[in-house]
């Protein structure tokens, strides 16, 4: 009798992947020829886009891209139209259960591993120092990576934590280039200006305000 497998965890995403750390995070392949994006577009706008010379990102509420996590294969034809993809920005929040944060790091890398059929740039997300033991796993040293400050640097405390995480990320991954979605305030980024090359991309709110102005 043939067994029926309920693949709720989408095992096909990580076929052939190596897993690292106690959390078992999938290791992305080491692509050195990924190009710096001309621009970025949010996934929800990509569904109706006509300009494909940009990278698709997921810097939005998780519910707005959850279908990509649960049915990744279905969206591959759409994503292949674009220059590339930034891996999903699954939420990592201070106070969130560690198992959920590890699961979100896993899904970031698992979807990224599957999508390496096209150019992929790892998105790096952390919460506080307790997440540093796993949130940087699965990313090859020297990779180009992406981060988002949107909604993460509203208070002095948030800025301090983002700066701490950014420094830890630079030490663990030693990226060649860091793409920044959102604002780049001096008090957060200035200490690292000579350590790595940054490229900034305005958030959709910034673009909307600029257009309205």
pLDDT of residue 206: 80
By the 10 Å C-beta count (0-12 exposed, 13-18 middle, 19+ buried), 203 is classed as: buried
pLDDT of residue 1: 40
What confidence tens digit (pLDDT) does each residue in 65-115 have? 999 999 999 999 999 999 999 999 999 999 999 999 999 999 999 999 999
Residue 4 clears pLDDT 60, i.e. is over it:
no
Q: How far apart are the first and last CA of the chain?
A: 66
What confidence tens digit (pLDDT) does each residue in 135-177 have? 999 999 999 999 999 888 999 999 999 999 999 999 999 999 9
Q: How many Å apart are CA 87 and CA 100, to the nearest integer? A: 17
* Residue 79 three-state SS: helix
pLDDT of residue 212: 66
Tell me the pTM. Answer: 0.92
């Amino acid at each position: 009798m043939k067994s029926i497998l309920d693949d709720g965890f989408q095992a096909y995403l990580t076929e052939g992947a190596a897993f690292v750390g106690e959390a078992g995070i999938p290791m992305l392949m080491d692509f050195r020829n990924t190009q710096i994006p001309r621009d970025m577009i949010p996934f929800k706008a990509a569904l109706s886009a006509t300009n494909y010379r940009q990278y698709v990102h997921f810097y939005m509420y998780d519910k707005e891209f959850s279908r990509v996590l649960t049915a990744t294969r279905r969206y591959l034809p759409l994503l292949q139209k674009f220059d590339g993809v930034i891996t999903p920005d699954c939420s990592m929040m201070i106070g969130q259960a560690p198992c959920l944060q590890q699961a979100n790091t896993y899904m970031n890398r698992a979807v990224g591993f599957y999508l390496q059929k096209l150019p992929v740039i790892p998105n790096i997300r952390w919460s506080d120092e307790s997440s540093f033991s796993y949130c940087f796993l699965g990313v090859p040293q020297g990779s180009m990576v992406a981060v988002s400050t949107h909604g993460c640097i509203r208070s002095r405390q948030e800025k301090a934590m983002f700066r701490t995480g950014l420094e830890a990320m630079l030490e663990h991954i030693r990226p060649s280039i860091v793409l920044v979605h959102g604002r780049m305030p001096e008090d957060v980024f200035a200490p690292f200006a000579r350590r790595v090359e940054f490229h900034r991309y305005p958030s959709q709110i910034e673009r909307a305000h600029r257009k309205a102005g």
